[in-house]
Structure 1
Amino acid sequence: MASGGVSERQYCELCGKLEQLLRCGRCRSSFYCSKEHQRQDWKKHKLVCKGGEQPGGTNPTSSTGDAATPVNGGTVTGASTTPTGAASSSPGGTDTTPDGASQHFPEPQPLAAEDYTERSGRFMTAGGSARRGALNGQSRGPPPSQRLAREYLLPCMEKHGICVLDDFLGPVAGEGIAREVRALRGTGRFTDGQLVSQKSDSSRDIRGDQIAWVEGSEPECRAIGGLMTSMDDLIRHCNGKLGNFRINGRTKAMVACYPGNGTGYVRHVDNPNGDGRCVTCIYYLNKNWDTKVNGGILRIFPEGKSQFADIEPKFDRLLFFWSDRRNPHEVQPAFATRYAITVWYFDADERARAKEKYLTAGEKSVRVELNKPSDRIEKD
């Protein structure tokens, strides 16, 4: 997130990382977290890089002065340093002026959680219907998912770009999902989380989670599938009104586990390159989570705001936020096992453009149709 006079351009063009960046020494307007990511992005970047030629002739990361240069603390062996007199900025709140003095900008303050959190606890079951059969004792009117989407999700996303729904499915349904996730982890299907377009082995320095991809139709993942249907119901009622996106599908569910050994995920953007993902949806499964002891907060830095939003990974909590550069975010180190399930929704138009330009790496690029609307009522 930009702060004060800090440039909004400072993110890795390949993976979206926002810290320890290197500046392209040729055009000086693009940034990378490593020489490896600059090299991987060169085929695309050379089309807009000043001169249109590969820096240094044949090697995009040569140390001739046209390579990526460090930005406030970013160091890569062989890269040239920022020339004297050139201003450089860091997203951490400090801007280096030409004479070398540092200007400190005000630290961002937390947003008031009540502004983007709904705590009514009257939401959906794993089947997508009213948790208590009817809202306020009434059996008529629009479905609960439609009412929730219209009265809370849409206005909250429009105003804040973030929306939190607590007590989403209720304790029985939530525990059923948690059991499936724990069993899934016991099968050994979890692998180290990877970065979009990541081809090197540096992922573990950036993200420390372990993940498994789930369709939701597997016999051992029926409860997870019900959760995905509930998510789809909300999105379906928002379609065409949620940021004017035309949502026509989503990813599989990414079941993620931070093992609790101080692992986290550095500040990044889910979709920095226009791959089609427009909305990130995360469901948390952590009972009795104490952030003072266990850490693991998801901190979001909404673009254009001097405030951040701290999202505690509480049990039965559902979170929505924009997937693009409007919401850089990080997972702070977790010191207890931390579970979450993430689904990304695709904007049809951006996804089509992305397919024409390049193929995204990883299983998240597979588009899945939304589940059919639920027509049954379930209670805890």
Structure 2
Amino acid sequence: MKSCQICEKTDNLLYCARCVNTAYCSHEHQKMDWKEHKRVCKKNAADSSIHNNNTTTVQEDPKVQTENLLTDIGDLSIRAENPQFMPQWVAQNSLGLEVLDEFSDRERNMITRITNNLKQLGICVIDNFLDRPIAEKCWDDARALHSMPRIFKPGQVVDQGGREKIRGDEIVWLDGSEENAKNISYVCRKIDTIISKCNSRIGYKISQRTKAMLACYPGNGAAYKCHIDNPSGDGRCITAIYYMNRNWDKEKMGGVLRLYPTAFAKSKVAEVIPHFNRLLLFYSDSRNPHEVLPAFAERFAVTIWYFDEEERAKALATWAKNLPRR
């Protein structure tokens, strides 16, 4: 029977997400053992990668990959726009989760990684999220949809307050029934499956989400000003973004998503390059103001927002109460 490497407890164990071999009862004990464990972890991780069809394994320390995204920008005053998505938008744009039956060892590792990163930092990045052939088909779906006339519409917010334009993307909402977006529908179900396994671990009860928003920044310098996804308690708790951009060159193409997580020092930002087959997850509330910097090439991403049942119910009740009486 497996036990914690430090104290030998056997209950509620967590496993090193890199080698999937050594167990701990807590993150504190994992950190205590790292100096010793790292000597064997790399070998075990290599063995694990062979077992997992040579896919990239998750980092052993839940902070490692996220901290690699950090940039020191010095003193900076951040002003996030709060464009209001009215509660009726929440009511009109929700679906139940579609959970897949298959669930691999690598995806179990993702659950630990996502849970740890969200709890500690409020964001998580997973690279090589799908098998590459499926990821390629998702990109094909996105480009084919974008080539069709009158499918995409300018991204909007309910209230821009008469100020300058907040966002410059083009979007289409997908509910999973679209014949020409089956591969994108699959990635949405894959994300649903991951979220369904870790939602209670991060303090939410999640059984519904929005439709999938396929967005394209058309490459003309389009951007999205700094904003908070859910500034008003509309129910959205987790933002999931899946990127589909092959050979993305940050220096030439821009389009970086820059987050200002409150979990970091004020001088730090997290810059997420929209690389092909990359999944980004973060808390949707005021903990993560973020913006999309100007993009100078077509930039595709699918975004899903997941609802916390309690907050969403309150938002819907408030909306219903304020409906005009006939």
Q: Residue 145 of structure 1 is aligned with which of 90, 104, 107?
A: 107
Q: Distance in 2 between matches of 1:273 and 1:163?
A: 23
**CA-atom RMSD in angstroms:** 2.7
Structure 2 contact 213–302 (Cα < 8 Å) conserved: yes
**Which residue type is aligned with residue 147 of structure 2?**
G
Residue in structure 1 matched with residue 194 of structure 2 by the alignment: 234
- Does residue 214 (structure 1) correspond to residue 174 (structure 2)? The answer is yes
Q: Residue 178 of structure 1 is aligned with which of 139, 146, 151?
A: 139
Residue in structure 2 matched with residue 255 of structure 1 by the alignment: 214
Structure 1 contact 15–268 (Cα < 8 Å) conserved: no
- Does residue 305 (structure 1) correspond to residue 264 (structure 2)? The answer is yes
Q: Residue 325 of structure 1 is aligned with which of 272, 283, 286?
A: 286
**Which residue type is aligned with residue 299 of structure 1?**
R
Residue in structure 1 matched with residue 253 of structure 2 by the alignment: 294
**Which residue type is aligned with residue 233 of structure 1?**
T
Structure 2 contact 205–309 (Cα < 8 Å) conserved: yes
**Which residue type is aligned with residue 196 of structure 2?**
R
Residue in structure 2 matched with residue 189 of structure 1 by the alignment: 151
Q: Distance in 2 between matches of 1:5 and 1:339?
A: 31
Are the structure 2 counterparts of residues 171 and 201 from structure 1 closer, same or farther at C-alpha, using a change threshold of 3 Å?
farther
Cα deviation, 1:161-205, whole Å, max 9, x if unaligned, reads 11000001022101111111111112231000011x337776x71
Structure 1 contact 269–325 (Cα < 8 Å) conserved: yes
Residue in structure 1 matched with residue 318 of structure 2 by the alignment: 357
Structure 2 contact 255–273 (Cα < 8 Å) conserved: yes
**Which residue type is aligned with residue 226 of structure 2?**
R
Q: Distance in 2 between matches of 1:4 and 1:337?
A: 30
SS of alignment partner, residue 178 of structure 1? helix
More helix by share: 2
- Does residue 274 (structure 1) correspond to residue 233 (structure 2)? The answer is yes
Q: Under a length normalisation based on structure 2, what TM-score does the superposition of the two structures give?
A: 0.66
Q: Distance in 1 between matches of 2:76 and 2:134?
A: 45
Cα deviation, 1:247-274, whole Å, max 9, x if unaligned, reads 1200000000000011100100000011
Are the structure 2 counterparts of residues 201 and 340 from structure 1 closer, same or farther at C-alpha, using a change threshold of 3 Å?
farther
**Which residue type is aligned with residue 277 of structure 1?**
R
Q: Distance in 1 between matches of 2:126 and 2:260?
A: 19
**Deviation of 1:239 (Å):** 2.2
Number of equivalences: 233
User: Which has the higher Rg, Structure 1 or Structure 2?
Assistant: 1
Q: Which runs of 5+ in 2 are unaligned?
A: 1-72, 87-98, 321-326
Q: Distance in 2 between matches of 1:331 and 1:305?
A: 19
**Deviation of 1:341 (Å):** 0.3
**Which residue type is aligned with residue 191 of structure 1?**
K
Q: Percent identity?
A: 41
Cα deviation, 1:127-161, whole Å, max 9, x if unaligned, reads 6746xxx65xxxxxxxx433421x21101111111
Q: Residue 244 of structure 2 is aligned with which of 262, 266, 285?
A: 285
